[in-house]
Amino acid sequence: MTIAVYGAGGIGCYVGGRLAATGADVVFVGRPRLAAELAEHGLHLTDHLGANFAVPAEQVRYATTPAAAAEADLVLVTVKSAGTANAADELAAVLKPGATVVSFQNGIRNGEVLQERLPNHTVLTGMVPFNVLNRGGGAFHQGTEGALDVQRHPALQPFENAFERAGLPLKQHAEILPVQWAKLLLNLNNPVNALSGLPLREELGQRDYRRCLAAAQSETLDLLKAAGITPAQLTALPAHRMPTVLRLPDFIFRRLAARMHAVDPLARSSMWEDLQAGRRTEVDYLNGEVVGLAESLGRTAPVNAKLTALIHAAESGQVVSMSGAELLRTLQSAQAGGGR
């Protein structure tokens, strides 16, 4: 059984790399830059618990054209959300009958986009709850905890053992939308982290930055309640209690955080990586998704709208970093003005 990782960047190389390192037949499809990097260095995969996996360069199959996915029985789509429709069209031209496709992407609607364009294939929505840092030279590091979440489906049964061997078991759910929204609530920190310029642990160690995240989460939770959506519980803390804990003084938060969610000193958000590399971020599919939900309810989401605007400004080189106090004042001003 062959597994293809389509759009193999940080998440794709990490997940696919661990599968390959533990015996799965994996082919990666991605950009020429990474193909050259892995051809020289191979893959080196580590995590916050001390795991250490390697795939020698000569054993890494990394292609740069869609045709490489033609042999796949399972396709893990890990492209950025803006590239989902294009990836689906490319896959539609090459996938063999019976292949199963799983979206392991940020955001809410990628699975729907894939299914619309791949009507004759089993398409499942999944979610990667942990952070992966691209350290360069083929090295990828998992900086936070979590298993792989995915829609429950019999088509996954032939692959379950491969994920177990890789130490990335598939946690299957009858309903995936509450899981996606729970992950998005955590990902609302991505722009805060990117604008801070700090590693995740250091950023979350500062109360002003946490208050920014709490404001974004509180706004989102109110909208989800209005929409009749209850987020799943992904951490030791229920989603509705997260803003309260984030607002606590630093010395109390540090004690609670150690029990809630493991974050190692290397972890940074993918949005920070994108800004550093001059790439378009996924903010429209994270905080922007909250703005869209608000609009569908005839409401506004000024905090998330402002974070979205700040990241777009950063993408244009207008904003590089902000202190916690500065960012908090900016968000509070947007909130008071209703997003104006």
| Dihedral angle, C-alpha 32, 38, 40, 41, nearest 10 ° | 150
| DSSP designation for 105 | -
Domain 179-336 sits in CATH at: 1.10.1040.10
Q: What is the pTM of this model?
A: 0.90
3-state secondary structure of 211: helix
Output the CA–CA distances (angstroms, integers) from residue 255 to 44, 146, 212, in the order listed: 32, 20, 20
Q: How many CA atoms within 13 Å lie on the side-chain side of 24? A: 28
Q: For the chain, how many residues are written?
A: 340
CATH H superfamily, domain 2-174: NAD(P)-binding Rossmann-like Domain (3.40.50.720)
CB atoms under 10 Å from CB of 328, counted, come to: 20
Q: Could you tell me the two tokens for 285?
A: 């599919």
Q: What are phi and psi of 170, to 5 degrees?
A: -85, 120
Question: For the chain, which residues make up each domain, given as ranges?
Answer: 2-174, 179-336
Which residues, including other chains, have CB under 8 Å from residue 94's CB and lie 6 or more apart? 66, 67, 69, 70
Which residues, including other chains, have CB under 8 Å from residue 69's CB and lie 6 or more apart? 4, 6, 27, 29, 75, 91, 94, 95
Give the per-residue pLDDT at 314: 95
Give the per-residue pLDDT at 260: 53
| Residue owning tokens 């533990």 | 22
Q: Please check whether residue 281 is in contact with residue 311, taking contact to mean a CB–CB distance below 8 angstroms.
A: yes
Q: What does 120-141 look like in DSSP terms, one character per residue?
A: TSEEEEEE--S-EEEEETTEEE
**Sheet with 132-136, edge to edge strand ranges:** 52-55, 43-47, 139-142, 132-136
Q: Could you tell me the two tokens for 128?
A: 């990667």
Distance, in Å, from the CA atom of 61 to the CA atom of 57, rounded to the nearest integer, reads: 9
Closest by CA to 66, choosing from 80, 79, 82, 81, is: 79
Give the per-residue pLDDT at 339: 52
Residue 293 identity (one-letter amino acid): L
Give the per-residue pLDDT at 32: 96
Write b or e for each residue in 143-174: b if 16 or more Cβ atoms lie within 10 A of its Cβ, otherwise e: bbbbbbbbbeeebbeebeebbeebbbebbbbe
Q: Please check whether residue 159 is in contact with residue 74, taking contact to mean a CB–CB distance below 8 angstroms.
A: yes
Q: Please check whether residue 327 is in contact with residue 209, taking contact to mean a CB–CB distance below 8 angstroms.
A: yes
Distance, in Å, from the CA atom of 192 to the CA atom of 296, rounded to the nearest integer, reads: 25
Q: Could you tell me the two tokens for 74?
A: 């399972």
Q: Could you tell me the two tokens for 4?
A: 């293809």
Give the per-residue pLDDT at 318: 80
Instruction: Report the chain's terminal Cα–Cα distance, integer Å.
Output: 53
pLDDT tens for the chain, 340 residues long, are: 999 999 999 999 999 999 999 999 999 999 999 999 999 999 999 998 899 999 999 999 999 999 999 999 999 999 999 999 999 999 999 999 999 999 999 999 999 999 999 999 999 999 998 889 899 999 999 988 888 999 999 999 999 999 999 999 999 999 999 999 999 999 999 999 999 999 988 999 999 999 999 999 999 999 999 999 999 988 878 999 999 999 999 999 988 776 555 567 777 888 999 998 899 999 999 999 999 999 999 999 999 999 999 999 999 988 778 999 999 999 999 999 865 4
Closest by CA to 303, choosing from 327, 333, 325, 335, is: 335
Q: What are phi and psi of 324, to 5 degrees?
A: -60, -40
Give the per-residue pLDDT at 340: 47
Distance, in Å, from the CA atom of 236 to the CA atom of 77, rounded to the nearest integer, reads: 28
